[in-house]
Amino acid sequence: MLDTLIERIRAAHEHDSPLIIQGGGSKTFYGNPDEGEVLSARAFCGVVDYQPKELVLTARAGTPLIEIEALLAEQNQMLAFEPPHFAGNATLGGCIGAGLSGPRRPYAGAARDFVLGVRIIDGTGQPLRFGGQVIKNVAGYDVSRLMVGALGTLGLITEASLKVLPKPAAEATQQFELDEASAIEKMNQWAGQPLPLSATSWHAGLLTVRLSGAVSAVHAAQVKLGGETLKDAAAFWQRLRDQSTPFFDLRPATSNQSLWRLALKPTTPPLKLGEAQWIEWGGAVRWLVSDLPAAALFEAAKSCGGHATLFRGTAPAGGVFSPLTPALHTLHCNLKQRFDPKGILNRGRLYPDF
Amino acid sequence: MLSPVFLSQLRRLLPPHGVLHEREDLMPFESDGLSAYRNIPDVVVLPENEAQVAAILQLCHAEKIAVVARGAGTGLAAGALPIDGAVLLVLAKLNQIRQIDPLARTATVQPGVRNLAISEAAAVHGLYYAPDPSSQIACSIGGNVAENSGGVHCLKYGLTVHNILKLRAWTVSGELLEIGSESLDSAGYDLLALMTGSEGMLAVITEVTVKLLPRPQRAQVVLAAFDDVAKAGAAVGNIIAAGVIPAGLEMMDRLAIQAAEAFVHAGYPLDCEALLLCEVDGVNEEVSDDIFTVREVLTASGATEIRTAESEEQRLKFWAGRKAAFPAVGRLAPDYYCMDGTIPRAQLPHVLKRISEMSAEYGLAVANVFHAGDGNLHPLILFDANQPGELHKAELFGGQILELCVEVGGTITGEHGVGLEKINQMCAQFSTPELVRFHEVKAAFDPDTLLNPGKAVPELHRCAEWGAMHIHGGQLPHPELPRF
């Protein structure tokens, strides 16, 4: 199977014919439109190694996340970055390639923080291995993390090794009726105190906070923070993770509205950019439904220390991601050139010009 | 040799004391923390602001002169070793803490700020910077980013790469790069990760924004003695399997325990083969629960003695022995050579057995200090540099330990970096196409190979020569020739 993938990429490189890498197809909406023949990594699957005591799992790219999470759950462990599955059958390869993380991210770390090593096939068909299966490793440049979120433009990820963590013994979710500005302030204040926070959300006047840890610690924090305990909290966080609440639905084609993800300095005060908003990650991510032009949102995000992504909707001409400065753009092109000289892998998916 | 014209151009960019060129001024910069490697620099420049850094880079780029960046010079892999014909760019004078934002929990600092100084400045807000390399009192944050430094707490709190948000850095041609953001991610490739641990080979950092964490409410440490290193190793896995992620989980072998005890009188038991220190931190209730679990696991794993520190004073005393382990071992011999491999923890008994066999073969004693939680092993090879050939023997022995780490699925460096020291062992860990790609990544940033050339990634011909030497069972041909 690996040989087939290598051959396909080698041939595509030779014939200059672009490929679209696909896993479970759960994130086809994400990024810019790309062109080419579909190259599916879905069949290259299976957990290669899992050592619960070492906190390390290695699996092939096509392995469904759901399978990995079930295996980890048997040992009371988890992927601590809580990767979104969205509506489809998300795979490990897609999860790492897209580099997206879920509600636990600000408190536990992102997908890139848990990647220990990867095997890839580059744009010439050359298999390469970077990083490894140990938690501390500083030999060579950190090319494994460079692959996280590169949207397959630097290589097809065929295998990844991840650090995993024990599941918390207890979780509880508290809700507070609070206006937006106060909620942002609270989220930041609490994150600066020794509290077992593991997720935060604010939407429509309701601040929702998840606590995770030892039974006693979660209970003590519940008492300290107060609020109403949310029943069925697991479903709430899963819906937020997978964007399966109506707020995140694609707007009707007749509307110009898109779903934007604004990643900002977490203390940024309420944005005056539109009505419907969902705040996550302790204030560092603001989901926004808006019909403002892309340039306005890129500019707004930049002035708040971050960047914006048109997450769902029609891609603007310059692409769905915040534009890079000329110096950074040059570096991106240089790196792309080294990993995929003919630009056949997911052409245009990250930025329209490479 | 650098030309007088070039030197006078440098002097025009900097204040009078910003260019060092006299031999006695250059001597302090001849090595970093790995003093076995020395080379007096041709010239040292000490910029005081970002504009001066950019101007120095622009000049060097125009003249095609190599640049070696250096922070506090505490690195242990000769990464900041001066190179002939190059400028040594010392960033120690860029030492301002620009801003601490307690609500956003960030500190924005210049690269010459010491690691510990960040935590000291943040303490008033109940915050601290988590990575704590043992040299934290002296090492600078710029160097920490260059090496992706760790420390005793990184199993739980991560390495430098997990604890920084944003960099201001300058390309070799003197162009500004703003990498990362004030949020938790940024657009495009993860250049923040690529820069972290890049050993001054890709760009020069002039500002770092780090994350600050709330100080844990409480920390408590348990000490456990074992009559067998394998049992101690297994206990580490059992603690983690029980769902506890300790803040620190350290192991010492017999020689290290005895040296530490003789040096600081920490009260360690001496009739044991291995000692574990397991620290848990967090909110009060959680620490109580975890200490209970850890004690149960240690008992079940066959510990011969278990003590819980009952006071902060006792906790610090337990740690004092471990923290003084390096200088303590240093008292056993005129010199020691510290290795830095990482291994899958399950391989620990096998690796320690092989190290002890090699120790007998080379006739050099070894004390083992181990960041057990994350598998990072620091064997300290004892030798006497004044005995002809002993340093060379120690280096060969060290190299073989690193190759053993690769053989069992680990890596040649967990936290110290490759520098010049471990450059041959890179050939054991990576294949030719992978090394080629590393060179190409560098070329994407630095096409003329001017930033710290010759470090971190070996030239392919070097690997070919090294591979050929290895065919003869570790016996180097022409032992009289210098090899570094």
Burial label for B238, CB within 10 Å (0-12, 13-18, 19+), is: middle
The pLDDT, as a whole number, for residue B326 is 87
Residue B12 domain-assigned (yes or no): yes
pLDDT at B445 over 90: yes
B75 touches chain A (CB under 8 A): no
Q: In this predicted model, what pLDDT tens digit does every residue of B193-228 receive, in sequence order?
A: 999 999 999 999 999 999 999 999 999 999 999 999
| Predicted confidence band of residue B478 (pLDDT cuts 50, 70, 90) | very low
The pLDDT, as a whole number, for residue B469 is 62
The pLDDT, as a whole number, for residue A252 is 61
A254 touches chain B (CB under 8 A): no
Is B455 in the same domain as B367?
Answer: yes
User: Which distant-in-sequence residues (6+ apart) come within 8 Å of A235 by Cβ?
Assistant: none
| Residue where a domain stops, chosen among B214, B238, B259 | B214
Q: In this predicted model, what pLDDT tens digit does every residue of A221-232 receive, in sequence order?
A: 999 999 999 999
Residue B115 domain-assigned (yes or no): yes
Nearest CA in chain B to A185: B103
- CB-CB under 8 Å, A146 with B190: yes
Query: What single string gives the DSSP state of each residue in A280-319?
Result: EGGGTEEEEEE-S-HHHHHHHHHHTTSEEEEEESPPPTT-
Is B339 in the same domain as B450?
Answer: yes
Greatest CA separation for chain B: 72
Is B132 in the same domain as B207?
Answer: yes
**Average pLDDT for B302-314:** 96
- CB-CB under 8 Å, A169 with B189: no
Q: Is B144 left (phi over 0), alpha (psi -120 to 50) or beta?
A: alpha
- Residues in B closer than 8 angstroms to A141, CB to CB, are 194, 197-198, 201-202, 438, 441-442, 457
Is B233 in the same domain as B291?
Answer: yes
> Residue B462's domain is classified under what CATH number?
3.30.70.2740
Is B371 in the same domain as B318?
Answer: no
Angle, to 10 degrees, between the axis of helix B390-407 and the axis of helix B348-362? 160
Q: Can you tell me the distance from the alpha carbon of A192 to that of B103, in angstroms, rounded to the nearest whole number?
A: 7
**Average pLDDT for A171-179:** 98
pLDDT at B475 over 50: no
Is B283 in the same domain as B339?
Answer: no
- Partners of B88 in beta bridges: B44, B68
Nearest CA in chain A to B147: A138
Q: Which of residues 298-337 of B touch A (CB under 8 A)?
A: none
**Average pLDDT for A128-141:** 94
Q: Can you tell me the distance from the alpha carbon of B346 to that of B356, in angstroms, rounded to the nearest whole number?
A: 17
| Predicted confidence band of residue B476 (pLDDT cuts 50, 70, 90) | very low
Best to test chain A binding among B185, B202, B426 (most A CBs inside 10 Å) = B185
Query: What single string gives the DSSP state of each residue in B43-63?
Result: EEE---SHHHHHHHHHHHHHH
The pLDDT, as a whole number, for residue B481 is 39
Q: Are A294 and B408 in contact (CB under 8 A)?
A: no
Is B66 in the same domain as B108?
Answer: no
The rounded mean pLDDT for chain A is 96
Reported as type and span, the H/E element at residue B399 is helix B390-407
Look up tokens 């096939």; give the residue: A121
The pLDDT, as a whole number, for residue A253 is 59
- Here the tokens at position A22 are 């696909």
User: Which distant-in-sequence residues (6+ apart) come within 8 Å of B35 by Cβ?
Assistant: none
Residue B479 domain-assigned (yes or no): no
The pLDDT, as a whole number, for residue B470 is 55
Is B237 in the same domain as B170?
Answer: no
The pLDDT, as a whole number, for residue B1 is 81
- Tell me which residue of B154, B291, B446, B165 sits closest to A331, measured CA to CA: B446
Residue B483 domain-assigned (yes or no): no
| Predicted confidence band of residue B477 (pLDDT cuts 50, 70, 90) | very low
Is B343 in the same domain as B387?
Answer: yes
SS3 A190: helix
- Residues in B closer than 8 angstroms to A128, CB to CB, are 431, 433-434, 437
CA atoms within 13 A on the CB side of B96: 8
Q: Which of residues 2-41 of A touch B (CB under 8 A)?
A: none
Domain boundaries, chain A: 2-166+333-339, 169-312
Q: In this predicted model, what pLDDT tens digit does every residue of B365-394 receive, in sequence order?
A: 999 999 999 999 999 999 999 999 999 999
pLDDT at B483 over 50: no
The pLDDT, as a whole number, for residue A254 is 62
| Residue where a domain stops, chosen among B184, B214, B244 | B214
Compute the 3-state secondary structure of chain B and give helix, strand, coil in percent, each to the nearest 5. 40, 20, 40
| Residue where a domain stops, chosen among B214, B230, B248 | B214
Distances (CA, A) of B351 to A175, A195, B347: 51, 40, 6
Q: Is B12 left (phi over 0), alpha (psi -120 to 50) or beta?
A: alpha
Is B204 in the same domain as B76?
Answer: no
Q: Can you tell me the distance from the alpha carbon of A214 to that of B181, in angstroms, rounded to the nearest whole number?
A: 33
A171 touches chain B (CB under 8 A): no
Task: State pTM to two decimals.
Answer: 0.96
pLDDT at A277 over 80: yes
Q: Can you tell me the distance from the alpha carbon of B296 to that of A52, in angstroms, rounded to the nearest whole number?
A: 19
Percent over 90 (pLDDT), chain A: 94
Q: Which residue has the higher pLDDT, A134 or B467?
A: A134
Is B108 in the same domain as B229?
Answer: no
pLDDT at B479 over 50: no
Q: Which CATH number fits domain A2-166+333-339: 3.40.50.720, 3.40.50.300, 3.30.465.10, 3.40.190.290?
A: 3.30.465.10
> Residue B240's domain is classified under what CATH number?
3.30.70.2190
| Predicted confidence band of residue B473 (pLDDT cuts 50, 70, 90) | very low
Residue B477 domain-assigned (yes or no): no
The pLDDT, as a whole number, for residue B332 is 92
B127 touches chain A (CB under 8 A): yes
- What number of other Cβ atoms are within 10 A of residue A93's Cβ? 29
Percent over 70 (pLDDT), chain A: 99
Residue B80 domain-assigned (yes or no): yes
The pLDDT, as a whole number, for residue A310 is 96
Helices (H) and strands (E) in chain A, counts: 11, 17
- A184-214 burial, b at 16+ Cβ within 10 Å, e below that, comes to bebbbebbbebbbbbbbbbbeeebbbbbbbb
Q: Residue B342: which domain range?
A: 333-470
Residue B161 domain-assigned (yes or no): yes
Angle at A124 between CA A118 and CA A130, to 5 degrees: 20
> Residue B116's domain is classified under what CATH number?
3.30.465.10
Residue B443 domain-assigned (yes or no): yes
pLDDT at B251 over 80: yes
The pLDDT, as a whole number, for residue A88 is 79
- B227-237 burial, b at 16+ Cβ within 10 Å, e below that, comes to eebbbbbbbbb
Is B372 in the same domain as B457?
Answer: yes
- Partners of B218 in beta bridges: B282
Q: Can you tell me the distance from the alpha carbon of B324 to that of A10, in angstroms, rounded to the nearest whole number?
A: 55
SS3 B393: helix
Q: How far is B83 from chain A (nearest CA, A)?
A: 20
Q: How far is B344 from chain A (nearest CA, A)?
A: 6
The pLDDT, as a whole number, for residue A256 is 82
Q: Which of residues 224-253 of A touch B (CB under 8 A)?
A: none
SS3 A19: strand
Distances (CA, A) of A224 to A194, A323, B476: 12, 43, 66
- Residues in B closer than 8 angstroms to A267, CB to CB, are 101, 103-104
Q: Where are the alpha helices (DSSP H) in chain A?
A: 2-15, 65-74, 92-98, 105-108, 111-114, 143-147, 180-191, 215-225, 233-242, 294-303, 326-339
Q: Per the structure, how many domains does chain B have?
A: 4
pLDDT at B293 over 60: yes
